Amino acid sequence: MSEISQRVTQASDTELDYDAIVVGAGFAGLYMLHRLRSLGLRARVFEAGSGVGGTWFWNAYPGARCDIESMEYSYQFDEALQQEWVWSERYAAQPEILSYLNHVADRFDLRRDIQFDTRVQAATYEEAQGRWRVRLEKGGTATARYCIMATGVLSSANIPAIPGLADFPGQVLHTGNWPHAGVDFTGKRVGVVGTGSSGIQVIPEIAKQAAHLTVFQRTASYTIPARNAPLDPAAQAAVKADYQGLRQRVSLMPIGAEFYHRDVSALAEAPAAREAEMEARWRKGGTSFGAAFNDLMLSKEANQVAADFVRAKIRSLVADAATAERLMPKQLFGCKRICLDTDYYATFNRPNVSLVDVSGGIEAATAQGLRVAGRDYALDTLVFATGFDAMTGALLKVDIRGVGGLPLSQKWAEGARTYLGLQVQGFPNLFTITGPQSPSVFTNMVPSIEQHVEFIADCIAYMQPRGLTRVEPVKAAEDAWVEHVGGIAASTLYASCNSWYLGANIPGKPRVFLAHIGFPTYVQRCREVVAKDYEGFAFA
Ligand code: N01
């Protein structure tokens, strides 16, 4: 039995009516449960996995690591918790984050209200009772006044529809659903499809083990060296001496994390000075490379400066000129999420690694491997690092029906519509933690999650003494919010490329920009809404 499953103690299945149901036991669901309990509510968490952790439970692939620094990618709601936990590396790897979340679950005695191995299939609002009825995949239902979706933003794995895939006899894996027992690639011919953040992390690790690794690349990504390193105990102690100071400082930064943002145009500086700035950031490592200038996502000309710098780096790091050329991204810098890597480009200098361009599509999977442009690539194992149906996928996997039985899928047929990414008009008492049109993926997720959990808990606490039992957004507020979020995106270069931020990676998904850009302004807006007695929400 794995360490994780040994630590899981199942909540009992006898109590079926609750004050609140929470779907998911990752960062969001765990903290939500803790807050609901502190309001004196009876809450139940349903979790599809066999342990806590959400994203960090499922993405157990070798090389999985956070791209926000450990000291910031953690809860701040409990001072003792943030003082006692010791991170070992600048960027925590998946096992360490999963251990942290297990520690949180134990420390706050959360497991007794979590039902594991339980996928929620449907959630229906029963208007006469004013309750949500949740149907479980393995049978049974539960009801509650509040239904809180803590299902994650990158949790619905996407495996492309490749003809013949069912005929491939070897092991087929997705990075977002990785076996906890691990995978031994020794002596295997492995194919990895996808070169986004997950592919870029898993490729160097598989290359170290496999007999041969073939990387199938549709779009080359921009990746910056992570320069991960052990965390210096003295530096960690210095942060802990004033942890709240750090939290306060970063809460005012555009992504809610230390980003070393410079308010300088890439076009205003002399070429030598801007090269020096980018070189320093490249050497330091991390996503703050993208914050070297203030206009990379506003002006194509400025964007070109960073793009050219990274392309020159690729040229210098990859020995074979033709491979280097194929690894050079052609799209705008940062328009798709920038990746962080450890030895990604150097991996292509290994004799057991080859790169195949699949920009024209993968023709078919066969009994031997993959066929691309008429050529067969023999494989024993196929790894999909092909991403997720982001932001809306996990919500729409549950058959959610609001007032009058309206399916959420129908409400969102033309694209997601929410108010503040927290609620959907017509779906009373349903909350979405880091839902579409909130900052979510444009931030350090943990403070974003905490802010949403606290908003939801405060809203319920506001309702209780007033005898209010129902809350949902008014349509005008939702419409204005959707327009506002789309307007911000349209004023940047983000809206101009085929990223998962606007659903472009999923065939047939409506193209709507799914995140609010700018964390501090969003938080300020939420505060104003609360100060005006939850402006834009209707209570009954
Ligand atoms: O997924 P992705 P991901 N044939 O969608 C390719 C977070 N994250 O799991 O770009 C061939 O970015 C696709 O090609 P294209 C982070 O927010 C964070 O890597 O669509 N290829 C692309 O190369 C990240 O952005 C961390 O042309 C196909 C890749 O698969 C998000 O999760 C680590 C294809 C998918 O890239 C998602 O990252 C990991 C097809 N049919 C993830 N379909 C860290 O914190 C798709 N692709 C560091």
pLDDT tens-digit map of 99-130: 999 999 999 999 999 999 999 999 999 999 99
Pick the CATH number of 3-156+390-539 from 3.50.50.60, 3.30.70.420, 3.40.50.10090, 3.10.20.30: 3.50.50.60
Nearest CA to ligand 1 atom 37: 387
Closest Cα partner for 391 from 405, 412, 360? Answer: 412
Question: What confidence tier does 497 reach under pLDDT thresholds 50, 70, 90?
Answer: confident
User: Cβ-count burial of 360 within 10 angstroms (0-12 exposed, 13-18 middle, 19+ buried)?
Assistant: exposed
505 lines ligand 1 (CB under 6 A): yes
Question: What confidence tier does 258 reach under pLDDT thresholds 50, 70, 90?
Answer: confident
What is the pLDDT, as a whole number, of residue 1?
28
The tens digit of pLDDT for each residue in 327-342 reads 999 999 999 999 999 9
Neighbours of 123 (CB within 10 A): 25
193 lines ligand 1 (CB under 6 A): yes
Mean pLDDT of the chain: 96
93 lines ligand 1 (CB under 6 A): no
CB 341 within 8 A of CB 200: yes
The tens digit of pLDDT for each residue in 146-173 reads 999 999 999 999 999 999 999 999 999 9
362 lines ligand 1 (CB under 6 A): yes
Determine the residue of 197, 221, 336 to mutate for testing ligand 1's pocket, defined as the one with the most ligand atoms within 8 A of the Cβ atom: 197
Is pLDDT above 90 for 93?
yes
Strands (E) in 240-368, as ranges, are 339-341, 353-357, 364-365
Question: What confidence tier does 260 reach under pLDDT thresholds 50, 70, 90?
Answer: confident
Give me the mean pLDDT over the 32-39 stretch: 98
Whole-angstrom Cα distance, residue 290 to residue 306? Answer: 8
Choose the weakest-confidence range: 40-49, 250-259, 317-326, 354-363. 250-259
Whole-angstrom Cα distance, residue 185 to residue 537? Answer: 53
CA of 278 to the centre of ligand 1 (A): 25
Share of the chain above pLDDT 70, in %: 97
Q: What DSSP assignment string belongs to 141-190?
A: EEEEEEEEE---SS-SB-----TTGGG--SEEEEGGG--TT----BT-EE
Nearest CA to ligand 1 atom 13: 194
Q: Which residue carries 């290994």 as its tokens? A: 350
CA of 198 to the centre of ligand 1 (A): 6
Task: Find the radius of gyration of the CA atoms of the chain.
Answer: 23
CA of 500 to the centre of ligand 1 (A): 8
Residue count of the chain, please give it: 540
Whole-angstrom Cα distance, residue 525 to residue 531? Answer: 10
Whole-angstrom Cα distance, residue 137 to residue 119? Answer: 6
Q: What DSSP assignment string belongs to 192-215?
A: EE--SHHHHHHHHHHHHHBSEEEE
Whole-angstrom Cα distance, residue 131 to residue 125? Answer: 6
Domain boundaries, the chain: 3-156+390-539
Neighbours of 483 (CB within 10 A): 10
CA of 195 to the centre of ligand 1 (A): 6
What is the pLDDT, as a whole number, of residue 5?
33
Nearest CA to ligand 1 atom 43: 386
Share of the chain above pLDDT 90, in %: 95
Give me the mean pLDDT over the 403-414 stretch: 98
Per the structure block, which two tokens stand in for 49? 């996995």
324 contact partners, CB below 8 Å, separation of at least 6 = 314, 315, 317, 318
Nearest CA to ligand 1 atom 5: 387
Nearest CA to ligand 1 atom 10: 219
Is pLDDT above 70 for 8?
no
CB 382 within 8 A of CB 210: no
152 lines ligand 1 (CB under 6 A): no
What is the pLDDT, as a whole number, of residue 11?
43
Whole-angstrom Cα distance, residue 448 to residue 371? Answer: 42
Instruction: Indicate the angle between helix axes 300-317 and 271-284, nearest 10 degrees.
Output: 60
386 lines ligand 1 (CB under 6 A): yes
Nearest CA to ligand 1 atom 3: 387
In ligand 1, the atom with minimum distance to the C-alpha of 337 is: 25
82 lines ligand 1 (CB under 6 A): no
Question: What confidence tier does 7 reach under pLDDT thresholds 50, 70, 90?
Answer: very low
CA of 436 to the centre of ligand 1 (A): 18
CB 187 within 8 A of CB 211: yes
Neighbours of 6 (CB within 10 A): 9
In ligand 1, the atom with minimum distance to the C-alpha of 66 is: 45
Closest Cα partner for 204 from 14, 392, 352, 88? Answer: 352
Full-model pTM:
0.96
Neighbours of 316 (CB within 10 A): 10
Whole-angstrom Cα distance, residue 514 to residue 503? Answer: 8
Closest Cα partner for 11 from 155, 109, 151? Answer: 109
Position 100: which residue type? Y
CA of 2 to the centre of ligand 1 (A): 28
Please state whether 382 falls in left (phi above 0), alpha (psi between -120 and 50) or beta. Answer: beta
In ligand 1, the atom with minimum distance to the C-alpha of 441 is: 17
First-to-last alpha carbon distance for the chain, in angstroms, is: 49
Is pLDDT above 60 for 364?
yes
